[in-house]
Amino acid sequence: MFGLELFESNASLKAKKLPRFLSERQCLLATARSAVKLLVQALRPATVWLPSYICGIVIDAAREPGVRMRFYAVDQSLKVSDSNWLAEIEAGDLVIFVDYFGFDTWSWHGVEARARGARITEDACQAMLNKDFSPHSHYVIFSPRKFIGVPDGGILLVGKNKERPDADFPAPPARWLLQATKASILRSEFDRYGGERRWFKMFQAADANGPMEPCRMSDLSAAILRIVDWASIKRRRRRNYEFLLSELGDLAMFASLPREVVPLGFPIRVKNRDRLRRALFNEQIYPAVHWDLSLVPCKFAASHNLAKEIMTLPCDQRYGREEMKRMVSAVKRYISV
């Protein structure tokens, strides 16, 4: 979680070139999960196809009466395992592909799925700041809260020649938005001054209760998105990732950083993941786990095996070289313990 963005001079307010997710046809929503729900409700596909490596919230969002849900296999390198499932796609189906941690691992399958008449949705929640997105996507979904400090926000980018779903959305639930905003403010104060971690439970509650039904993004979040220094954020994230790659490349899920990619974090795979993670917690380093696959059918063994060993080291814009060095040192110290 990021603390609410603070701007200490009016330099932040100068006009900047808006990123693609703000400059093209889009719906500004309160959560990214509601973008999935909006598409399923608006398009009414016979079947929604999801990768076997996917956040449970996306599965919940895709559930809709009369709509079938199917999974296609993703292997332990986060690539689509095979092409056999493509033959079962029918025209009008909705196929969701994920840019894992910012990296595109699915483009060829997107070409084939689109050729069969599927509506292609690119889940770019972990790739929001990338230079570009797949030309095969009809829709792209973003989650600003994964990259900067806003209390709410999800964005649905609508491709050319595609009708934008109804944009007259209700306001988000007031009680939920107040809780999410308070958590964001408390996290910002914690980052600046330290103290108690009251924000954490508040954030967990707000995240768990985020609205599934489509409602609009708050005015506060919409305003922040337009004055953030996106270029600086991109540079810092890439710089930190490249340093971690130079030190921990043998553990990395992605062994190179393409020029167009701005990573969510630095995902690594280790056998003693849970023990290493607890040791890092004791060093005030908090790797995330993406994801719990309890809602994914057990037959997708490769995805489930990966989910037991993967974790994401933070490399976002809040940190510099010294923090990266400290984290590398801790990982190397504890990884074989």
Helices and strands (H and E) in the chain: how many: 11, 9
**Mean pLDDT confidence for 65-91:** 97
Q: Can you tell me the distance from the alpha carbon of 156 to that of 161, in angstroms, rounded to the nearest whole number? A: 15
Q: Strand pairing partners for 97?
A: 122
- The Cβ of residue 192 has, within 10 Å, a number of other Cβ atoms equal to 10
* Residue range 213-257, pLDDT digits in tens: 999 999 999 999 999 999 999 999 999 999 999 999 999 999 999
> Which residues are within 8 A (CB) of 66 and not within 5 positions of it... i.e. 6 or more apart?
44
Selection from 310, 293, 312, 289 nearest residue 301 by Cα: 293
**Where does the pLDDT of residue 165 fall: very low under 50, low under 70, confident under 90, or very high at 90 and above?**
confident
Q: Can you tell me the distance from the alpha carbon of 2 to that of 128, in angstroms, rounded to the nearest whole number? A: 15
Q: In the chain, helix, strand, coil percent, each to 5?
A: 40, 15, 45
Answer for the pair 160, 145: CB distance below 8 angstroms, yes or no.
Answer: no
Q: Can you tell me the distance from the alpha carbon of 82 to that of 85, in angstroms, rounded to the nearest whole number? A: 7
Q: Which two tokens stand for residue 64?
A: 């809709």
Of 11-15, 90-94, 110-114, 188-192, the one with minimum mean pLDDT is 11-15
* Residue range 6-16, pLDDT digits in tens: 765 455 555 46
pTM: 0.95
Say yes or no to pLDDT of 283 above 50: yes
3-state secondary structure of 186: helix
